[in-house]
Amino acid sequence: MKNLVVALFLGLLLFCMNNAFGQKEKPSDYGIKSKKALDYFYEGKEWTRARDYLKAAESFKKAIELEPDFGDANFALGEALWAKKKYQEAIPYFERTKSSSRAAIFGTLNSLLGDCYYYTSQYENAAECYSIFLNEPKGLKVHLESAQKNLPKAKFAAEAMNHPVKFSPVNLGSNINSVGRDYLPFLTADDNTLLFTAHREETTGGFSLEHKDYPEDIYISEYKEGKWLPAQNIGPPVNTPDYEGAASITQDGKVVFFAGDYKNGLGNYDLYYSVRANGKWTTPVNMGPEVNSDGWDSQPFLAPDGKTLYFSSRRRGGVGEKDVWFTKWENGKWGKAQNLGTPTNTAGNEQCPFIHADGRTMYFSSDYHPGFGGDDLFVSYHDENGWKKPENMGYPLNTSANEGNIFINTKGTRGYINSDRPGGYGLDDLYEFLLDERFRPQISTFLRGVTRDSISRVPVQARIKLVDVQTGDTVRAMTSGKGDGKFLMSVPMNREYAAYAEAPGYIFTSKHFYLKDLKEDIYFDIAINLLPLPPPTKPTEPVKPAAPVVVVLNNIFFDLGKYDLKKESYIELAVLLGYLQQNPKMKIEIQGHTDNTGSEESNITLSQNRAESVMNYLISKGIDPQRVSAAGYGESQPLAPNDTEEGRARNRRTAFQILEM
């Protein structure tokens, strides 16, 4: 019965071909002699109409074996292979078509051949074909759009391959990579903690019958004694039997943002976060309808400022298919998501946004900006006018394959990427490499330390703020760890910073960091000591501290020998003003101190004038004159010997003493 059905089908197929072609066309119409070759060609056309391109290709090949210069059969075979994305196989048949006598009748020939060249990295040939086609475009709209989109990419890629970037990836090894897919690497500011997404057999939920795969989970590893320790599943409650991935970790390693595909979500993927507290991850929290949509929301990354979250989303209101969006933390909540707009976003897909520690360099992937085909990696820089036009990161970092994401370490010297290149441990592996100088961000370092009680040395959870002295911008804001007081933050180099730490029941503390003209590999391990406030005996009565409570203001600046406040001082003055407003019963004495340069009399006068400058500022901002006084102590109370410049710098200071609380 089966043979009978096949025979009837073939008979019907031949009948249709004879009626469709046989009465009107003969071999000579196609510039060939073989009637058998023409029959195979008709047979292939019928299989093409049925969209069975593999059987169509078999028939066209038989025709070409009989008539190698059969232009129509060569074009049809190339077209069938093109439809199956077998671009390299299609090229010789399209090339043979171009040399045939009937080449002119195939209006889409150069468009299709251009695609084949483009997706096999033969960019100069691709640009030539696209240009010929666009001079007189014919065929479906899809061919015109493809040529218009890929021509500038092909021209760019051809030029870029002649000027390759430095790229020598090193596999992170079997402690990190597996036989499955390992991808989307993110590191903490000190490069000691690595977070990534993976499909592995030991995934939390086990094998999924629904998806016929192991769901993606989030993994973590620590760098110790010169190597990465075996990666560990981050475990519940973050990882579940469902899908969790596209995760990023904050600079201090205390918060994980990720995408989860849960039945109770707003879309098919939503954004969530979990906090590390007392050695455990908290139950993930959905970021809510202001951030998530009913579409696809994924690949979140918290910018170094600690208040701007970037992510990729396919939702209504975008520029293209997948766009880069962002949300800001304001007034204790995440604001409504906003599209980053052009020139970053295009009609295509922009994904995996990553903002470097310098705060002005963004890396992301796109399949639309001029590149090598598929997803390429791009870099964009921020200035006073916003994000600038993205730059392709070049060959061979980018290739005709998909390069989906990149992470650059705090120093801006090393990059991390996942790739399915040959020689790895699995389907996708993680690699590191030295980043080519032309795409390096501004040099950055990191501050790592602890906030603690200045008397007991017990860790204190405190709010830390880092302000650019020149601009007044808060570049970092974070809270040190509950229980351990630890903090870790990246800091752009070649700037001057004022740092502040505040905690309930403690006097605020300030520090000053001058990070100009320093060596590139420097970093800071510091302890910030917070002075506890004296406990009141009766809430209704002011308290006079039993021992002097003096706080140095490390970010009050004067020109040498002068007492006019420099503009950089207003950052710290605003902090002091706010502190006095929060403690309306507090009375303080502003103190001025100098080193031993100059006469004792002139130093007393200078220090008094400087203290009065601070006092007058506070009074001008509404502080009751009865609450603040000024005293100049000249060189009489040094903190360090005056025999070195460092010692003299410590002695030249402004401070305040708490008189009453």
Do residues 237 and 278 share a domain? yes
Q: How far apart are CA 645 and CA 652, in angstroms?
A: 11
- Residue listed under structure tokens 């992937």: 365
Do residues 523 and 540 share a domain? no
Q: What backbone torsions phi and psi does residue 439 show, to the nearest 5 degrees?
A: -115, 15
pLDDT range class, residue 13, cuts 50, 70, 90 = very low
Q: Residue 373 burial (CB < 10 Å; 0-12/13-18/19+)?
A: buried
CATH code, domain with 603 = 3.30.1330.60
CATH code, domain with 96 = 1.25.40.10
* Cβ atoms within 10 Å, residue 474: 16
pLDDT range class, residue 362, cuts 50, 70, 90 = very high
CB 252 within 8 A of CB 487: yes
Model confidence over 503-533: pLDDT tens digits? 998 998 999 988 887 776 778 889 999 998 8
Q: How far apart are CA 656 and CA 621, in angstroms?
A: 17
3-class state of residue 600 by DSSP: helix
3-class state of residue 97 by DSSP: helix
Residue that finishes a domain, picked among 381, 406, 439? 439
- Residue listed under structure tokens 């309808």: 289
CB 98 within 8 A of CB 66: no
CB 121 within 8 A of CB 374: no
Do residues 261 and 152 share a domain? no
CATH code, domain with 190 = 2.120.10.30
Do residues 105 and 178 share a domain? no
Q: Express the helix, strand and coil content of the chain in percent, nearest 5 each.
A: 25, 30, 40
Among left, alpha and beta (phi > 0; psi -120 to 50; other), residue 373 is: left
Do residues 433 and 448 share a domain? no
pLDDT range class, residue 545, cuts 50, 70, 90 = low
Buried b vs exposed e over 260-285: b needs ≥16 C-beta within 10 Å?
Answer: bbbeebbbebbbbbbebeeeebeebe
* pLDDT exceeds 90 at position 76: yes
* pLDDT exceeds 60 at position 570: yes
Do residues 141 and 273 share a domain? no
Element (H, E) at 497: strand 496-502
Residue 564 belongs to what domain range?
A: 535-661
Do residues 267 and 243 share a domain? yes
pLDDT range class, residue 540, cuts 50, 70, 90 = low
Q: How far apart are CA 94 and CA 71, in angstroms?
A: 9
Model confidence over 394-446: pLDDT tens digits? 999 998 888 889 999 999 999 999 988 888 898 889 999 999 999 999 989 89
Residue that finishes a domain, picked among 481, 515, 532? 532
CB 268 within 8 A of CB 261: yes
For the CA atoms of 569, 571, 573, 574, what is the dihedral angle to 10 degrees? 160
The pLDDT score that the predictor gives to residue 22 is 44
Of 430, 488, 440, 481, nearest in space to 250 by CA:
488
9 is a domain residue: no
CB 317 within 8 A of CB 305: no
The pLDDT score that the predictor gives to residue 541 is 64
423 is a domain residue: yes
Strand 308-314, strand 296-302: pairing:
antiparallel
The pLDDT score that the predictor gives to residue 214 is 82
* pLDDT exceeds 70 at position 234: yes
Q: What is the mean pLDDT of residues 11-23?
A: 47
Residue that finishes a domain, picked among 487, 516, 532? 532
4 is a domain residue: no
Do residues 95 and 241 share a domain? no
Q: How far apart are CA 168 and CA 212, in angstroms?
A: 35
Do residues 435 and 450 share a domain? no
2 is a domain residue: no
The pLDDT score that the predictor gives to residue 6 is 42
Query: Looking at the 3D structure of the chain, how many domains does it have?
Result: 4
Do residues 647 and 552 share a domain? yes
More confident residue, 482 or 220: 220
Average pLDDT, the chain: 90
Q: What is the mean pLDDT of residues 77-85?
A: 93
CB 373 within 8 A of CB 356: no
Do residues 590 and 572 share a domain? yes
- CA dist list (Å): 425 to 172, 177, 373, 428: 10, 6, 25, 8
Do residues 287 and 430 share a domain? yes
CATH code, domain with 459 = 2.60.40.1120
